[in-house]
Amino acid sequence: MSSRELTRIILRVVTIVLLFAGGLLLLWMLRGPISWIVLALFVAVAMSRPVNFLSRYVPRGAAIAVSYLALVAVPFAIAAAIIPPIVDGANDLAKEAPGYVSDLQDSVNKNEQLKDLDEQYGITEKLEEEAAKLPNKLGDAAGVLKDVGIGVINSIFAAFTILVLSIFMVARGQTWVQAALRAIPDERRRVRVQRALDTSAGAVGNYVGGILVQVTIAGVSTWIVLTILGVPFAAPLAVLTAFFDAIPLIGATLAAIVIGVITLFFDFPGTTIAWVIWAVIYQQIENYLIQPRIQARAVDVQPFVVLVSVLFGSSLFGIAGALLAIPVAASLQIGIREYLHYRAEVRESGILTGAGPPGSGPLIPRVPPDAPSSGVISP
């Protein structure tokens, strides 16, 4: 090998490595918009079922508008039902905190052991000081709320972008898919790709249906527990739990924290302790029993694969990864299965027609009609 050929090979390898590294860097820099597109695709596939159903009775444009207006109205309705009682409870807590400390002081004075601890460490005195500062601290929270508000605005912008992208996908997605399928020359492969896409879309729809069953169980059980505990606004809080419960692994925890904070405003500590115990038990039941079984039946994926995919997805991409992990795992399983079936069909077709794998030549030699006879069998 000459030095010129060696130099050419080295340059080619370096170029390939640099292009690959640059592609990875570009993907990393565009991870935000890419995740939006993937989420929009998921939303579009999930919304295609109600849109197709309504399209039987109204024009498709109207069906899309009604479906997405209903989708957008859900979080606003939940916020309207949940935020006012939280604000009222926080104001009541700020006003009544000194009274709570006085009640605690009376309880301590009646118990000799608690009284000794209080005299030694000055617990109630410190609590009285903090209770007196509580209204001012709530006012100082405005700066924190400002940062939270900026984050909420960014999230709203991202959600709006995802919704717009998904609307385009619902409206024109079928046309794009058909155009891509027509570009596949092999009819057998085209049929398999079409079947894989349809089955994957069905799996996503089934996943959404499974999520609805799961959040219904969470919401109803939360409403029952809060009603038994006597917590006000049990129905709106149950709806909030159902909304958060759609997030795998951590959704139930987020809802439990919010409700736990609310119980502090109404009946502390008995109701709060009872709620925490229930929330911990229910989350374990949901994560390792309810969700894997429901999603395994909905998307035909083993419960172990469901758990592993959710863990991997949440570790890599956070909440979005946890939401998309199960339908992505189901789609990959469907794609691999259809590809293996396609290869089996090609192999079987090659055997029946006397053609082997590409490049191997025919399995049975073909003799030209004018070839001389071998003398074994005379015509």
Residue with tokens 């998307």: 299
**Mean pLDDT confidence for 200-209:** 80
Q: Where is the domain boundary, 161, 183, 205?
A: 183
The answer to whether residues 358 and 73 touch, using CB atoms and an 8 Å cutoff, is no
- Residue 57 CB coordination number (10 Å): 8
Residue 143 lies in a domain: yes
Q: Give pLDDT, residue 16.
A: 92
- The tokens describing 332, both together, are 């990959």
Cα 73–70–176 angle (5° rounding)? 125
**Range with lowest mean pLDDT among 16-25, 144-153, 208-217:** 144-153
Does residue 73 belong to any structural domain of this protein?
yes
Same domain for 331 and 239, yes or no, is: yes
Position 199 pLDDT exceeds 70: yes
Residue 372, domain member (yes or no): no
Q: What is the pLDDT of residue 134?
A: 57
Residue 61 to residue 55: CA distance in whole angstroms: 8
Within a domain: 217: yes
pLDDT at 230: 84
Residues 290 and 251 in one domain: yes
pLDDT band at 224 (very low <50, low <70, confident <90, very high): very high
8-12, 153-157, 195-199: the lowest-pLDDT one = 153-157
**362 vs 354: CA distance, rounded Å:** 6
pLDDT of residue 133: 60
CA distances in angstroms from 105 to 94, 128, 287, 364, listed in the order given: 18, 9, 41, 98
User: In sequence order, what are the residues at sequence separation of 6 or more whose Cβ sits closer than 8 angstroms to the Cβ of residue 234?
Assistant: 222, 223, 226, 227
Is residue 93 domain-shared with residue 57, that is, in the same domain? yes
Same domain, 178 and 190: no
In a domain, 3, yes or no: no
In a domain, 336, yes or no: yes
Residues in Cβ contact with 38 at an 8 Å cutoff, skipping those fewer than 6 apart: 320, 324
Same domain for 157 and 190? Answer: no
pLDDT tens sequence across 354-374: 444 444 444 444 444 454 444
DSSP 135-201: HHHHHHHHHHHHHHHHHHHHHHHHHHHHHHHHHHHHHHHHHHHHHHHHT---HHHHHHHHHHHHHHH
pLDDT higher at 93 or 250: 250
Same domain, 191 and 272: yes
pLDDT band of residue 323 (cuts 50, 70, 90) is: confident
Residue 62 lies in a domain: yes
Whether residues 255 and 319 share a domain: the answer is yes
Residues 43 and 123 in one domain: yes
pTM for the model? 0.62
44-54 pLDDT, tens per residue? 888 888 888 88
184, 303, 328 from 203: Cα distances, Å: 24, 15, 9
Q: How far is CA 231 from CA 100, 182, 270, 272, 278, in A?
A: 18, 59, 11, 10, 14
Token pair listed for 7: 């130099």
Most confident of 133-137, 160-164, 193-197, 322-326: 160-164
Whether residue 105 is found in the same domain as residue 172:
yes
Residue 19 is assigned to a structural domain of this protein:
no
How many residues are there in the chain?
379
Of 142, 166, 183, which closes a domain?
A: 183
Same domain, 153 and 260: no
The answer to whether 248 touches 328, Cβ cutoff 8 Å, is: no
Beta bridge partners of 355: 362
Parent domain of 305:
186-353
Average pLDDT over residues 276-292: 83
Q: Do 299 and 334 sit in the same domain of this protein? A: yes
Give residue 3's pLDDT: 76
Of 167, 183, 199, at which residue does a domain stop?
Answer: 183
> Are residues 176 and 204 both part of a single domain?
no
Q: 255 near 241, Cβ under 8 Å?
A: yes
Angle at 204 between CA 32 and CA 200, to 5 degrees: 100
Number of domains into which the chain is organized: 2
